[in-house]
Structure 1
Amino acid sequence: MKMHLAELNIGRLLAPTDDPRVKEFMDNLDRINGLGKRMPGFVWMMEGSGEPGTGNTEAKIGGDPQFVSNLTVWEDVESLERFVWGTVHRKFYERREEWFEVLGKMHFVMWWVPAGHKPTLEEALAKLEHRERNGDSDEAFGWSWLKEAKMHKTHSCRPSAA
Structure 2
Amino acid sequence: MAAERVLAQITEFAMRAPLDDPVMSGFVDAFDAISRLARASPGFVWQLTSSSRGHPRVDPEDPLRVVSVSTWTDYSSLHGFVYRSPHGRALLRRGEWFTPVVQPSTALWWTSAEDRPSADSALAHLALLRREGPTPRAFTVRHRFDASGRAEGRRRPAARPWPR
Distance 1:50 1:22 in 2: 15
Q: Is residue 2:108 matched to residue 1:106?
A: no
Where structure 2 has 5 or more consecutive residues not aligned to the other structure, the ranges are 145-151, 158-164
Return the offset for 1:101.
Answer: 0.5
Q: Is residue 2:14 matched to residue 1:12?
A: yes
Q: Do the aligned partners of 2:49 and 2:55 also contact (CA within 8 Å) in 1?
A: yes
SS of match in other structure, 2:66:
strand
Q: Do the aligned partners of 1:85 and 1:151 also contact (CA within 8 Å) in 2?
A: no
Q: 1:73: which partner in 2?
A: 71
Post-superposition CA distance 1:89-131 (Å, at most 9, x none): 0011111111100123432101000111111111100000000
Where structure 1 has 5 or more consecutive residues not aligned to the other structure, the ranges are 153-162
TM-score, structure 1 normalization? 0.85
Aligned-pair identity (%): 30
Runs of 4+ in 1 over 6 A off after TM superposition: none
Q: 1:133: which partner in 2?
A: 131
Q: Please provide the CA RMSD for this pair.
A: 1.7
Distance 1:71 1:61 in 2: 13
Distance 1:6 1:115 in 2: 10
TM-score, structure 2 normalization? 0.84
Over alpha carbons, which structure has the higher Rg? 2
